Chain A
Amino acid sequence: MIAANCVASFHCLGESAPSQIDLRKFPATQLDDVVVPLPSEVFNVLDKLGAPNWRGELRDPVVGTRGERAQIALLLGSIVAEGFVAVEAADKARVKEVGRGVLELARAIGVEKTVLSRTNSIVTKADAGDWGAVRRELDGALTDVKNAMIELRDSQLAHLVSLGGWIRGTEVLTSVVGKRYSDDGADLLNQPDLLIYFQKRIAGMPSRLRNNQLVNKIQRGLNEISPLINQKITPGSVKRINEITGQMVKAIDSRA
């Protein structure tokens, strides 16, 4: 209503904003952390880039609950990203499998109650073929799990959930872009500040977590990706990022 009124009213225009600002002069205290985008934001763009063979991008979701909490957190993020691929592939059975997997992994780290209604909804909406709603529930499950971890004062694990999703999402993105390379597709990888954000989050983790073998491997992978993302993205760099993220996903899945 407010916005609708504003369309017809010059009273809404307010003070005009400067057309150019010097971001270097922005006080650091007034600079927030970078926003980690939702998987939906990336897949929304991928929808517009044509129709890749999404079934060919699917992986069997690994739902191991015997690993350490760091690994389970990474797996949780990764399996949610897998859910998005399954939605693109319109694979009801796989989406439902992902929903159940999210619940199982959430249970393993003590945040099951938080996502129970989301995971039930994922299964129901997948049965109905309501893919938009499944996406919203997957986004919501990711957010709920992270917030529950923060409430449990486990924000480090919350970062790993985001990171797990980003790694699997980037593996899929580079696979899709690599098969039909275009500048528009490659442009989606221009995320250097997001990468720096994840690198800083790992660097700021307590040493017991930072020195965890898997987390350490993930950190090395991010360090390898960094120079590739900080320059013009080429078909070669897309391929290399796909290889690196593929190895990271395998490491996350292993021994789970």
Chain B
Amino acid sequence: MRRFLIFLGVFGAFSHANATIDDAISRALEAISPYAKQGYTVRDDQWGGDLGVKEEKAIPHTLFRGNDYWFAMGTDVDNARVAIHVYDGKGRLIESDSWQKGRFAAARVTAPATGTYYVIVEVTSSPKERTTWAMVYGFK
């Protein structure tokens, strides 16, 4: 379970699927690993849960002006597609870069001002009714 315990509140009725959680975390870490190699400090915490298709979750986050962030999302479900995007407090898309590739997705933000931003995660398609996902982030 590693450090995921702190975010169990997010999971709801999800306790039977520890292996799946770990797998989703592994995917998210896989998605962010290239940025770790580029000098981004990857936080040793993960966020996650399960979502239905086209269902979104918003994770509010205080970002600091001057920091450069990459947020990465992953799922263990084969053939699922996920998306992650970052909006400012006024609901404006603020990311400077983003990509989606099947069960991986990532978005980059250079915070223009310190404040609350919203990381929106979504399962865009999946063969399963509920799809496990995990999100990690790094900064430099």
Please give the residue numbers on chain A whose beta carbons come within 8 Å of chain B beta carbons, in ascending order. Answer: 1-6, 9, 11-15, 17-23, 26, 30-35, 37-38, 40-42, 44-45, 48-49, 136, 139-140, 143-144, 146-147, 150-151, 158, 184, 187-194
Cα distance, A189 to B115, chains bound together (Å): 9
The reply to whether A143 and B57 form a contact with Cβ atoms under 8 Å apart is no
Given contacts A44-B140, A143-B3, contact A32 B66 (CB under 8 A): no
The reply to whether B5 and A34 form a contact with Cβ atoms under 8 Å apart is no
Could you name 13 residue pairs across A and B whose Cβ atoms are closer than 8 Å?
A: A3-B99, A20-B93, A21-B91, A23-B89, A32-B47, A34-B62, A35-B60, A41-B67, A41-B139, A45-B66, A147-B3, A184-B65, A194-B116
Given contacts A30-B58, A35-B62, A191-B62, contact A45 B99 (CB under 8 A): no
Asked whether any CB of chain A lies closer than 8 Å to the CB of B134, the reply is: no
**11 additional contacts, CB 8 Å, given A11-B101, A18-B93?**
A3-B35, A14-B100, A23-B91, A26-B56, A35-B61, A35-B62, A44-B41, A45-B64, A144-B3, A150-B8, A189-B114
Please give the residue numbers on chain B whose beta carbons come within 8 Å of chain A beta carbons, in ascending order. Answer: 3, 5-6, 8-10, 30-31, 33-35, 41, 43-45, 47, 55-67, 81, 83, 85, 87, 89-93, 95, 98-101, 104-106, 113-116, 118, 120, 124, 139-140
